[in-house]
Each structure stands twice: as structure tokens, then as C-alpha cells.
Amino acid sequence: MALAKPTLASIAGTVTLPHPSRGTKVAPVWIQAKHTTLGGKTRQEVMARKYQYVLVYEVMSVDTYDALEDKVEELVELTFTYGKWPQSTAGVTVLVELSDRKLVYGTGATNYWSGVTLTLTEVSSRI
């Protein structure tokens, strides 16, 4: 069975992205406070734990990038789904950051490929 491609969805519609070509990363993000008591003991209070997903595209077509950029420019929380990671298979609400577009190959207004990094950070804590 083939792995489903990553998607970003909002009320306005869904964008299906290609599988990342350069690499992916899912990393926990901890919102915490660490304190050292007068007695020298270190205490830690965890207020939130969530995940950040990074998808790196060595090359992305103009059409795909434009659709992705339109979705990001909605300036709303999006639902990210990607079957590769158990944390996102059911869909998670994320905020999206899109890197600068780097020309990799091609010329003109529509016939080129861009290098792009997409960073998605969960909105809600998992604890």
C-alpha cells in the first residue's frame, strides 16, 4: 500500500503536497520552566508538549508552490495530515511557516523548480 501524500486543509479547501524530496523531521517542542531551589535541586515544570514537523523539498514545481503559498497566506490554522508519522495520521491543527523560495532549475514564469522548506508547528498541547 502506497503512503498517502501530505495534505494541508482549511475550510477553503485542501492542498496535496508531493512527498518531501530532501528530508523530513518530526521533533517534540517542550514549553517548560526550570528552576533551581535554594537547596540546589533542579525542578522542571512542563506546561505544554507538542510537535513540529519539517518537510524539505529539494525541488517543487511552480504550480505546487503557488497552491501551497495560497494556503499559507490564508493566515489561519490548517489541518496537516501525513501518514508517515503517527502523530499526524489523524490530522493535527498547525501553524505554517514557508521558507524563501530558492530557484533550483529552469527559467521563465512557470517553467522552473524551487527549493523550499515547510515548517509546521502544532497549535494545541498534547498534555
Question: What's the pTM?
Answer: 0.84
> Is residue 80 one of the residues assigned to a domain?
yes
The reported pLDDT for the residue numbered 107 is 82
pLDDT in the model for residue 101: 87
pLDDT of residue 59: 92
Which among 86, 103, 96, 90 has a CA at the least distance from the CA of 15? 96
In a domain? residue 2: no
d(CA 41, CA 35) in angstroms, rounded, equals 8
Which candidate, 96, 87, 78, places its Cα nearest to that of 9? Answer: 78
User: What pLDDT sits at residue 1?
Assistant: 66
Domain span including residue 102: 7-122
d(CA 89, CA 19) in angstroms, rounded, equals 15
Which of 33, 26, 39, 42 is closest to 120 using CA atoms?
26
Q: How many domains does the chain have?
A: 1
Taking the C-alpha atoms of residue 113 and residue 62, their distance in angstroms, rounded to an integer, is 6
> pLDDT 10s digit of each residue in the chain, 127 long?
678 899 999 998 999 999 998 888 999 999 989 889 899 999 888 889 999 999 999 999 999 999 999 999 999 999 999 988 888 999 999 999 999 888 888 887 788 888 999 999 999 998 8
The CATH number for 85's domain is 2.40.30
